[in-house]
Amino acid sequence: MFLTPYYPPIFTACGNRIFEMVRYLRKSDEVESIDVVLWNPQFSFDEKEIPQMPKVRVHCISFRRALPRIVFEHQDPNPLYAFMWMALAYRYISKINPTMVYITTPPGVMSASAISCIVRKRQYVVEYRDDWMSRNRLAISRLNGLMKYGAFFFNSIFSKIAGAAQKRAAFTVVVHDEIGKKLSRPMDVITVPNGIDVEEIVKLNKAGQSGDRRPRMDSKTIAYVGQLGLPYLKPEAILPAIAKLKGNHPGLRYHIFSTRLDAHFEKEVERLGIGSSIAILSLSHMELLSRLKEATFGLVPLDSSDPETRYVYPSKMYDYIAASLPILVIANEGSAIFKLVKENGNGKAMTWEMTDDIPRAIDELLSDPIYLEKAEKALPHFLELYNREDHLRQLIEKLSIMTNRLRPLD
């Protein structure tokens, strides 16, 4: 059983990863059934849009009529949010009686769900998909007065409970190696990065989506994959450059693939008068990759103050690489994504001190096909390095050891 706040039709990094895990796990003859408990008060769901697969049941929970969205605006640490997940975990463990529970919620909430697993005597796995604790400390440092002390108090309690939950877990899954090094039991940690679904790439190429260089250069399309309004991403950073370059690049488009709108972003677009150049789209992952194959380059704008930018590879990076798309990175010079693009030449890497040069960098990426050539040449290397199925196979092996019921797939 999976406990998760993200799952298609919410196409986030976490949602796509859990969907791939479920899709891979269900192929095993030893897996009788998989239940996914999905709850996220920040999103509205149409259950008809949830992908249906044999042996998989998705339980879509909604409390939005009873509680306003703002109550859950900050999810961790949030005592009410934690209580809700603890109640949901207890309810569905009692109802479904699963062999194993996979918890992929923020650490404070993860610990609450783990309490229900311990009470119901169920084995569980915990997943740290982000460095939530470092982010919480950064957020607390920006608060003042009673809010600061209250947040610090709750964060301290949640951190201790999360640490205890991690020690009781069968093992821990991390998305980034650096997070695993911070945990209390590094020998029981397995890294399962978001990675690239090679099967999807093969399907796209068979469908004739070859990504010919000339049409992609002519499209004059900048792609950004990710949510709007998040503190650690700044897709609005290139809006002034788009306004400046419209005259030089007729038909210039900025396509934002997001399930979440943001009032600040929309106001900035309106202020600059570039509404006709902006499109905000919500697509399935296959549709997303198909559209990326038609774009000219992709954007990764990581806030330099975010603690994770040192080592994180955002899921959008894997999508860009899979689509043979050059990448414009704006991040710290020492960050992992900055180094990757700098060393491989599949795009341009800039720091936030170089923002005056953003128009020039965009102009170069839109005009020079050499970056597309390098991105295409680098694809086989990246597919071998970031093959998602290889990492999921390791997860299956770990689950097999844990339950003595599952076996690795052939």
CATH number at residue 225: 3.40.50.2000
CA distance 155 to 256: 33
In a shared domain, residues 156 and 273: no
Structural domain includes residue 18: yes
How much of the chain, in percent, has pLDDT values that exceed 70? 86
For range 99-105, the mean pLDDT: 88
Structural domain includes residue 237: yes
The residue segments making up the domain with residue 9 are 2-195+387-403
Structural domain includes residue 142: yes
Total domains in the fold of the chain: 2
In a shared domain, residues 350 and 267: yes
User: What pLDDT score was predicted for residue 184?
Assistant: 65
Structural domain includes residue 92: yes
In a shared domain, residues 113 and 182: yes
In a shared domain, residues 153 and 295: no
In a shared domain, residues 251 and 302: yes
In a shared domain, residues 189 and 296: no
In a shared domain, residues 338 and 392: no
Structural domain includes residue 342: yes
Structural domain includes residue 408: no
In a shared domain, residues 242 and 185: no
Structural domain includes residue 409: no
> What tens digit of pLDDT does each residue of 163-214 get?
788 778 878 887 777 677 777 666 678 878 778 877 777 777 766 544 455 5
In a shared domain, residues 44 and 57: yes
User: What pLDDT score was predicted for residue 186?
Assistant: 62
The answer to whether residues 8 and 53 touch, using CB atoms and an 8 Å cutoff, is: no
Query: pTM, whole model, 2 decimals?
Result: 0.76
In a shared domain, residues 266 and 281: yes
For range 1-13, the mean pLDDT: 84
User: What pLDDT score was predicted for residue 277?
Assistant: 93
In a shared domain, residues 347 and 393: no
In a shared domain, residues 219 and 287: yes
